[in-house]
Structure 1
Amino acid sequence: MHLTASRPAEPAAPSVSTRHLRAFHAVCLHGSVSQASAALCRAQSAVTRAVLQLESELGAPLFERSVHGMLPTRFGQVLLRRVERAFAYMDTAYRDVAVLSRDARRSGLYSLHMNERRLKALIELSRRRHMGAAAEALGISQPAVSLMLRDIEQEIGATLFERGVRGLYPTQAGETVIWQLKLALNEIRIAADEVAAIRGLKQGEVRVGVLSLGRSYVLPVAITRLLRKHPQLKVSTMEGSFEVQVNALRAGEIDFVLGALRPPQHCKGLSREPLLNDMMAVVCRAGHPLCAQASVSLADTLAHEWALPHAGTPTRSLFETLFSSRGIGQPQITLETTDLSIIREVLLESDMLSLVSPHQYRREFSSGMLCQLPLALPETARQVGLLRRIDDRPSPGAQLLLAEVRAITSIPEVPLTEFELSL
């Protein structure tokens, strides 16, 4: 099994040499190496080597060769669809840069006909915002990264980064180029996984953005099921704020986001797929004074301190709305954190209260460490589900993980222990 959980996922370098894609596309378009070489103004031997290199990297024949020409095989058709999507993203980048810069020029960047290290240098610079940090990540010298950037900017006729005292800042042209480049490279990554899937191999990496509810309830079980069935797959998760994860999703750095859904106006350009309904609960340690009362009202909780997420978070907003709508004032909040482990330990060591989804502390409830106060809180109802790009065509691995998530959430309120027994 392969599972990693880390900072925002970095796009993996594609296993397909991007610099050969233009030759492959030309052969598909013209049906022969000779016509492709004429269209590209390249030697026939160079075009042939490019195709053979791609076939070697993918481990599959991309063309059926005959005296009448070359037609894409099933593998070639899969790669062609992804290459055309990748080129469409880069065409968008070119058009946007042409609007922003009078000197904009076509270059190998827009057909990905460029050394992969140069492409990765752009992405590392956008992420790290520092020439030295990008050089260290790439394992090359800082002057080499600086030279790469200068050459790319001269080649496309636009400045991609502004230099400041605190580092590098993408220009508007830089933002659009790098945004579309990430989406294009994601298509090529998925193409390699799709070709492997046709060969009967379930491999590649699934990258998931996960918010608090998905992290503690659905996703761990779905990942376990997936990796037991397909041990050659790898799953990596990305934690962070909703805004950070949505930006990563839009840029193709992650395959989907799982967690509490925000209103549609916060998810423009994304599809929302509700999976289950969730209602929050007031939680405390077993043996808390309120647990001993014959009946408990929300007003009774005003006598106790609370541990809650920071102001502006969805949970905090629900909490404030809950008390204000019932006209009983606001409790005293003495701890602000989004870390569930910190909240859990504080609850276990004190008489503090918290407002959480019952799914987030299911093990603590089943072991008798924590308890849920018998309060009906319909004002806190919310949906848990998936966020995906509207034009998304997920990789085979992502499709398999999505299927596991949907299977789990289609069974309402099944205890985790039963899930584990069914794995």
Structure 2
Amino acid sequence: MKNHQLRALVAIADAGSVRGAARALELSPSAITQALKDLEDDVNAPLIQRTSSGAKLTECGNTLLTHARLIVAQVERAHGAMKEMRAEPSGKLAVSITPWIALCFLPEIFIQFRKRMPNVQLEMFEGLMSIANPRLRDGSVELFVGRQAPDIANTEFDFRPLFSCGLAVVARQGHPLAQSRSLADLMDADWLVSLDSDMECRLSKKMFYRNGLPEPRNVHFTHSLTVAASVLQRTDAVSIFPWPLAEICVTRYKFCAFPLREELADTSVGIVSRNGNPLSAAANCLVDILLETIRDSDKAGTAEAKRVLQSTELLF
């Protein structure tokens, strides 16, 4: 198996067609078709099935795709590392950043990163675990700044803690249950929550069980803060936010936090990367800027940044 063949497979999977893959890789469709044929001959199995709507990966194709993504990503990072040795950091850095850090600190991080790494292209994903962890696994994201997954084996990801913070139940201002003092009062509400990384154990479920309550009947899922904010602003749904995000949304989206007597579990936020994979110079640079920005904000940041940091415990 050759790298250009694996790149062709990844491009077909992402684009959904041979022509789309050719455009993405700036090659001819015939070159993509030949690379795929050679790869299928090498593994002695069909990898895609052509349909009227494009190309669909076979079972063998999907199995190989998992490895192909990792290999392609590692080769790109190897090329980047060689350029770094010549003091020419370039290429692309893909990162996933949890919403409250993105809202509060990312603009300044972006400005400083562009000054120090002008030849590196940033690709940024919303930092929910259900989005970030699969991308860490397949190599399409190098760095995740977000919540630690308690169900992930320590051998898979490296975690460098930054913050510890509590959780809050939030809804729009004026919510009819806004003065509720117990989770039991919210059992019949519509809950809008995110899934944990392996899509098996929900934060909401653990939160209720910990307090001797069954999970609410009406639980809905989101993988986007924008979607969650839009629904919460215009309905009587409720959600679970880390306190720093709740602090931001109280002012930006006119949310309120419920004055519950139950103590909700703390959560840890930090820098997550694949174990055994050294970070690139660009990733290390972004981490340094992140830490500098947080330290500066704690002393001379905006009022919002200071308020957000007051709701966390710094762990570095």
Alignment TM-score, normalising by the size of structure 2: 0.73
1:185 aligns with 2:97: no
Q: How does 1:11-410 map to 2 (within 5 A)?
A: 109=2, 120-128=7-15, 130-151=17-38, 157-159=42-44, 161-164=46-49, 167-169=56-58, 170=60, 176=67, 179-197=70-88, 203-212=90-99, 214-227=101-114, 230-239=117-126, 242=129, 245-263=132-150, 265-266=152-153, 268-291=155-178, 293=179, 296-302=181-187, 305-309=189-193, 317-331=202-216, 333=218, 335-366=220-251, 369-375=254-260, 377-408=262-293
How far off its partner does 1:212 sit?
4.5
Could you tell me whether the CA contact under 8 Å between 1:222 and 1:408 is conserved in 2? Answer: yes
CA distance in 1, matches of 2:216, 2:108: 35
1:252 and 1:204 map into 2 onto residues whose CA distance is 15
Preserved CA contact (<8 Å) 2:40 2:47: no
Q: Could you say if the C-alpha distance between residues 194 and 218 of structure 1 is closer, same or farther in structure 2, counting changes exceeding 3 Å?
A: farther
Take 1:183 and 1:416, find their aligned partners in 2: how far apart are those partners? 37
**Distance (Å, rounded) in 2 between the aligned partners of 1:353 and 1:161:** 47
| Offset, 1:276 | 0.9
**Identity, % of aligned positions:** 21
The 8 Å contact of residues 281 and 377 in structure 1, kept in 2 or not, is answered as no
Give the aligned length.
Answer: 299
For residues 24 and 6 of structure 2, what CA distance do their matches in structure 1 show?
Answer: 13
Tell me, what secondary structure is at the counterpart of 2:248? helix
Q: 1:367 and 1:173, CA in 2 relative to 1: closer, same or farther beyond 3 A?
A: closer
Offset at residue 243 of structure 1 (A): 5.8
Q: Is the CA contact (8 Å cut-off) linking 1:364 and 1:370 kept in structure 2? A: yes
Distance 2:279 2:220 in 1: 40
Superimposed CA distance per residue, residues 344-369 of structure 1 (whole angstroms, 9 cap, x where no aligned partner): 23333344322212322433323582
Q: Gaps spanning 5+ residues in structure 1: where?
A: 1-92, 94-108
1:208 offset after TM fit, Å?
0.4
Cα 1:189–1:159 change in 2 (3 A) is: farther
Unaligned runs of 5+ in 2: 307-316
3-state SS, counterpart of residue 383 of structure 1: strand
| Partners of 2:163 and 2:268 within 8 A in 1 | yes
Decide whether the 8 Å contact of 2:7 with 2:68 is kept in 1. Answer: no
- The answer to whether the 8 A contact 1:217-1:359 is kept is no
- In 1, Cα distance between equivalents of 2:47 and 2:183: 54
Contact 1:275–1:410, Cα closer than 8 Å, also in 2: no
Alpha-carbon distance between aligned partners in 2 of 1:215 and 1:308, rounded to the nearest angstrom: 21
Residue 239 of structure 1, CA deviation? 4.2
How many angstroms does 1:193 deviate by?
3.8
- C-alpha distance in 1 between matches for 2:258 and 2:163: 22
Judged with a 3 Å threshold, the aligned counterparts in structure 2 of structure 1 residues 408 and 316 are, in CA distance, closer, same or farther, namely farther
Moved more, 388-397 or 242-251: 242-251
Mapped to 2, the partners of 1:119 and 1:315 lie a distance apart of: 31
RMSD, aligned α-carbons: 4.0
Worse overlay, 267-276 or 177-186? 177-186
Query: Structure 1, residues 106-128: CA drift from partner, whole Å, max 9, x if none?
Result: xxx4xx7xxxx666434423544
